[in-house]
Structure 1
Amino acid sequence: MGLAHLAKTASQRSGEYVTAGDKEGWLSLFSEDAVLEDPVGESPLDPSGQGHRGKAAIEAFWDTVIAPGSIDFQVVSSHPAGDECANVVHMVNTMPGDMRVVVDMVVVYRADAEGKLVSLRAFWDYESVMAQLG
């Protein structure tokens, strides 16, 4: 199986684990030195803009960003190439108090030869999401 298809498989599992609220399954997808950028660049979720580096930082991201809500993560289209897979995603996050946040994004996953994610880069507009929260 080529690296692009390993990345695609990992990307599909990532979405499934997020939707299921399966933290351990999701964390198992990442290599020990993986980098998660969600969103890419500087934001209150990543003030340095350098990403969440390593499994401990990625686990902390799950606990603070993913775990509080109930996420419906739908891949609209998937585009594997090289050792990466870019997915167009429609996500609805239902937060406590039934506050719903809708985000359309592109998520790029890069896998190593073992199929572990070494990089996850999510492109979405932080300011438009904050506007939804009022």
Structure 2
Amino acid sequence: MSNEVIEKVVAAYFSNIAAMNPEGWVDNFADDAVSYDPVGEPPTKVHEGFREFIGQLQAVFAQLEPTIEHIFIASNEAAVKWTMNGVSKSGKSVKFAGITIFAVNPEGKIQTTRAYWNPVQMIAQLRS
């Protein structure tokens, strides 16, 4: 698998989060894709839970701006260091960061994500 295919699907994943576009976001995933976001929580079958995920973002945030800081590609996987800046609907600014591991299938779709970040830090910023 080419690095360009992986870079393209990772970029689309983040741009659709920024747009809070559920259909565009889920289109990046294989039909049987699973997401561990964050790692330590029960996995989500993306095609079953995608509206809930994007719906949570839409309920809380007026704006989200992800930045891919580094992407490291090996074989069909990518480790992505990212930062997310957001503004809540109540006007609070948040900034949080993490690393997500993407496994991409031969069709160029995301098969799994494993996201390492701390939602508690983001929630604390929203409540402060």
- Correspondence list, 1:18-97, <5 A: 18-41=17-40, 49-64=41-56, 66-68=57-59, 69=61, 70-97=63-90
Residues 49-58 or 76-85, more deviating: 49-58
CA-based RMSD: 1.6
Residue in structure 2 matched with residue 6 of structure 1 by the alignment: 5
SS in 1 for 2:90: helix
How many angstroms does 1:87 deviate by? Answer: 0.9
Q: Which of 116, 129, 134 is the equivalent residue of 2:122?
A: 129
CA distance in 2, matches of 1:89, 1:113: 24
Say if 1:114 and 1:125 are closer, same or farther in 2 by CA, change over 3 A.
same
Structure of higher RCO (CA pairs closer than 8 Å, 6+ residues apart): 1
Structure 1 residue runs of 5 or longer lacking an equivalent are 42-48
Residues 24-33 or 4-13, more deviating: 4-13
Residues 98-107 or 17-26, more deviating: 17-26
How many angstroms does 1:118 deviate by? Answer: 0.9
* TM-score, structure 1 normalization: 0.83
Deviations 1:52-71 (A, max 9, x none): 1140212321212x223121
Divergent runs of 4+, >4 A: none
Say if 1:54 and 1:27 are closer, same or farther in 2 by CA, change over 3 A.
closer
Task: Give 2:107's aligned amino acid.
Answer: E
Task: Give 2:52's aligned amino acid.
Answer: A
CA distance in 2, matches of 1:39, 1:109: 13
Between the aligned residues of both structures, percent identity stands at: 22
Structure 2 contact 78–101 (Cα < 8 Å) conserved: yes
Structure 2 residue runs of 5 or longer lacking an equivalent are none
Instruction: State how many pairs are aligned.
Output: 125
How many angstroms does 1:115 deviate by? Answer: 0.7
CA distance in 2, matches of 1:33, 1:76: 28
